[in-house]
Amino acid sequence: MARIVMKFGGTSMAGIERIRSVAERVRREVDDGNQVAVVVSAMAGETDRLIQFCREAASLYDPREYDVVVASGEQVTSGLLAIMLQSMGVAARSWMGWQLPIMTSDAHSTARISGIDAKAIDTAISGGEVAVIPGFQGMSAGGRLATLGRGGSDTSAVAVAAAMKADRCDIYTDVDGVYTTDPRIVPRARKLSRVTYEEMLELASVGAKVLQTRSVGLAMKKGVRVRVLSSFDDGRDEGGHRGTLIVGDEEIGESDMEEQLITGIAHDKNEAKVTLTSVPDKPGAVASIFTPLAAAEINVDMIVQNFARDTGNTDVTFTVPAADLARSIDVLEREKPSIGFRELSHDTNVCKISVVGVGMRSHAGVAATMFQTLADRGINILAIATSEIKISVLIEEDYTELAVRVLHTAYGLDADEEAA
Amino acid sequence: MARIVMKFGGTSMAGIERIRSVAERVRREVDDGNQVAVVVSAMAGETDRLIQFCREAASLYDPREYDVVVASGEQVTSGLLAIMLQSMGVAARSWMGWQLPIMTSDAHSTARISGIDAKAIDTAISGGEVAVIPGFQGMSAGGRLATLGRGGSDTSAVAVAAAMKADRCDIYTDVDGVYTTDPRIVPRARKLSRVTYEEMLELASVGAKVLQTRSVGLAMKKGVRVRVLSSFDDGRDEGGHRGTLIVGDEEIGESDMEEQLITGIAHDKNEAKVTLTSVPDKPGAVASIFTPLAAAEINVDMIVQNFARDTGNTDVTFTVPAADLARSIDVLEREKPSIGFRELSHDTNVCKISVVGVGMRSHAGVAATMFQTLADRGINILAIATSEIKISVLIEEDYTELAVRVLHTAYGLDADEEAA
């Protein structure tokens, strides 16, 4: 017997027949003797429909009222799943966020979960009843409905799993796990049976959108074992595993880590490169660039500074999310007098390629392999950033697929056969 | 300055543009210096969509979960109206039933309001903020979402008006008031500027579906002045009145009552006639018919007993709602041995015609006029029922329009001109 949280996304909840399949999956876990809580998303498309209503109602809307409107989508699916489970003879009831409660911060529409009172869930599931909980929402300190922002249902599921001390949090989605890289680019990409929280965080933050980054961070902090698996496919890998388990380093074990140098290769085309030329090379010059960007809540990622000591000037290159490029340019042009650069150039035809793996900690030469492999193919590196378990390079967007493919081979990640 | 509850039905809330018109109506009341609470229905069609989901999920569903699903419709419109009001510069916020709370009985899906804590509304509207409240719902004693059944938003509005001691409860709908009869049958039907609670109850119970009967009963009990008026038409009648005001006898005044003998003529085609022949004429015989029907929660309306003293038997004729006819026949056939009737015949091609008016109390001859008028046209009366302010007759359905028209003329209700 185990305590399990099962989370189903919008595609899995899209319509009565899919909710019936979800209910059947839940019943199987109950029949296996497990105590189960289910966290559900709204039907695919429903949250967009509700957001659209708010936008049509007013261009600037009160996020507290927006939350009232959009929280209704998960309310509907939680009630429907409870009805469906009962019709299959499985004891079940829905628990709204305000009924438990799931407490959140007051940052309506992007609230953070501050605490969950799991007593009611605990009593229910201990008595054999399935607890169905609408994801993405809770109640703010002021007693109002609050939502967590897009993808927040993953975070809800992990938070519920932590509060009820679940043995595992299964995130059902439309892919069957986390891959070494995007299988659309590399047909020989392999599904990973295990990955560490940190690797998952790095992969998620560079474009492998299987799980919301926040939910992985919370899982790491609370030590919740998360599994990502498919709602639509029951297949198991050669090792007999379904999906990908996301766990702490300690569960992976030394031997695994040593044999697996690199876990995966991610790419992210949603970056834009900005270059400021002839910035005065004096104390505070770099701060004069990045302080106003930070004030505008623009996340600067990779930074390269080309010193040109003879002129006393320097070129500064960095990346920002492509969606924030226009705002970034506005901010920088406004600050031009105080920064003192000569020209601003920008480029969105770039891609960030990252190799990720905890094995990197105990192995030298990972970066050298990367640079050499790309150089062999004539791929120019525009910027480099590194962390303890990740090396990222910025390249021209046209080389994305080539770079991912050659690196996947260079690090020995290719499977024997193509993925289905 | 007055305290007003404004209630808008599903047709008035159907889509963003209509909600914008609603917000404009609300703003006008606020601009006039009134304190306003608004009770809203779901968008037209939305509740049906949600009910359909529940039915597809299971043929027999837990009404508590059904309530979770269907309550979402009004949650959406209350948030949207608050957003719209704010965008017009009107201070507003939504209050969910569980936030006030609006307490209900535990009869989920057909719950009754047991009490409303109006402190929060009182504070809000006293401070000039519009309180927007989803109709049709509240919270049961067990802390769960509960809905009031179809048309429950009218009842929500009256209950909120009573709790906040409102001067008036304006029910905005798709007709511009209560008419002396159905204008589709009698083009010279007149809009009534005032009608008493009792008259409205009788009219509503016999098919004039402007307001839910429950809401009128509650308004009478709590002394809430209710006005029915159109969301789409700002026209006033000759007396300068908008809509129809529903009030107590004391507000109508003696003179009004004397000049107005009959207030309106209603018809109801949703009845079915059942006749049991040769029922033994002994004590308890009639009870043996109606006790099992009552146990099956079938409302029996008109009852006629034809004594045939020579045989010791009697024929019993009565009406039930047409929707309950099949169940009624089942119940009666099952009880046939104990009732001892010979044959059961039934007929749905009948119509109940009612003349309603508080003036009836002080005038004789109202019934005689009715019977004579119908007899003059050769319309046969199948059954008769009377109350203090209503006389109803059952006739063949084919004569419905003729009967309504001749009675409308006979009681002097025809307007000088045809209604628009």
List, for residues B306-360, the tens digit of each pLDDT value: 776 667 788 899 999 999 999 999 999 999 999 989 999 999 999 999 999 988 8
Q: Do B83 and A71 touch (CB under 8 A)?
A: no
Contacts of A16 in chain B (CB under 8 A): 53, 56-57
Among A191, A189, A201, A133, residue whose Cα is nearest residue A163: A133
Task: Return the pLDDT at A235.
Answer: 78
The one-character DSSP state at A381 is: P
Is residue A100 included in any domain, yes or no? Answer: yes
Q: Do A58 and B98 touch (CB under 8 A)?
A: no
**Bridge partners of B40?**
B8, B134
Confidence band for A83, pLDDT divided at 50, 70 and 90: very high
- Map tokens 């509850």 to a residue: B5
Is residue B326 included in any domain, yes or no? Answer: no
Task: Return the pLDDT at A258.
Answer: 47
The one-character DSSP state at A284 is: T
Q: What is the mean pLDDT of chain A?
A: 91
**Dist. CA A316–CA A281, nearest whole Å:** 10
Q: Does the pLDDT value for residue B257 go beyond 70?
A: no
Is residue A30 included in any domain, yes or no? Answer: yes
Among B339, B234, B254, B248, residue whose Cα is nearest residue B293: B339
Is residue B224 included in any domain, yes or no? Answer: yes
Residue of A nearest to B15 (CA): A53
Is residue A333 included in any domain, yes or no? Answer: no
B268 φ, ψ (degrees, to nearest 5): -145, 115
Q: Do B80 and A96 touch (CB under 8 A)?
A: no
The percentage of residues in chain A with a pLDDT greater than 70, rounded to a whole number, is: 95
Model ipTM? 0.83
Domain containing A21: what range? 3-257
Residue of A nearest to B82 (CA): A65
Distance of CA B107 to the CA centre of its chain: 20
Q: Does the pLDDT value for residue A174 go beyond 90?
A: no
- Map tokens 């019709």 to a residue: A87
Which residues does A145 contact at the CB level (< 8 Å), separation at least 6?
Answer: A64, A67, A68, A71, A97, A98, A137, A139, B96
Q: H/E element holding B168?
A: strand B168-173
Residue of B nearest to A81 (CA): B57
Task: Return the pLDDT at B281.
Answer: 79
The percentage of residues in chain A with a pLDDT greater than 90, rounded to a whole number, is: 71
Q: H/E element holding A139?
A: strand A137-140
Residue A192 token pair: 């990973």
Residue of B nearest to A20 (CA): B57
Among B40, B41, B39, B36, residue whose Cα is nearest residue B124: B36
Pairs across A and B, CB distance < 8 A: 119
CA distances from A401 to A88, A284, A342, B108, B362 (A): 47, 39, 35, 57, 93
Q: Does the pLDDT value for residue A285 go beyond 90?
A: no
CA distances from B336 to A411, B204, B272, B325 (A): 86, 34, 19, 16
Q: Do B75 and A72 touch (CB under 8 A)?
A: yes
Is residue A185 included in any domain, yes or no? Answer: yes
**Rounded to the nearest 5 degrees, what angle is found at the Cα of B162, between the Cα atoms of B157 and B164?**
95
> Which residues on chain B place their C-beta less than 8 Å from a C-beta of chain A?
16, 19-20, 50, 53-54, 56-62, 64-69, 71-73, 75-76, 78-80, 82-84, 86-87, 93-94, 96, 98-99, 143-145
Alpha-helix residue ranges (DSSP H) falling in B193-335: 197-205, 213-222, 249-252, 254-259, 285-295, 325-334
Length of chain A: 420
Is residue A405 included in any domain, yes or no? Answer: no
Q: Do B79 and A98 touch (CB under 8 A)?
A: no
Contacts of A68 in chain B (CB under 8 A): 75-76, 78-79, 82, 94, 96
CATH of the domain at A253: 3.40.1160.10
User: B interface mutation test: which of A20, A80, A95, A108 has the most B CBs within 10 A?
Assistant: A80
Is residue B106 included in any domain, yes or no? Answer: yes
The distance of A65 to chain B (nearest Cα, Å) reads 5
pTM: 0.84
What is the sign, positive or negative, of the torsion defined by CA atoms of A26, A29, A35, A40?
A: negative
* Average of per-residue pLDDT across B117-129: 96
Domain count, chain A: 1
Contacts of A58 in chain B (CB under 8 A): 83-84, 86-87
